[in-house]
Amino acid sequence: MENLQAILQSATPVLIDCFATWCGPCKMVPPILKEVKDKFGESLRIIKIDIDRNQQLSAQWQISSVPTLLLFREGRLLWRQSGVVPAHQLIPLLQQQLS
């Protein structure tokens, strides 16, 4: 996988799904992200990050609960939310952040 910093700095917005394999609610997120990907296509990149395998990132981003979604563009954190957000709420939120 290409360098995460390079991905975060790009002009293409990046939605990061911070999850853990032991997290029950995290298992509800993939179908939601599929709907988001279907809506945004190539205009939004989606990455999943396992917080247990990437503890330094978890600390850097102060992830205290999972799932947590982070939205970056050009290296800036635009939006973050913990918990499961249904697609019908997440899509307009992302559209608002990216407009």
- Catalytic residue positions? 23, 26
- Rounded CA separation 73/15 (Å): 9
Residue type at position 36: V
What are the distances in angstroms from CA 51 to CA 12, 24, 32, 40, 48? 23, 14, 19, 25, 9
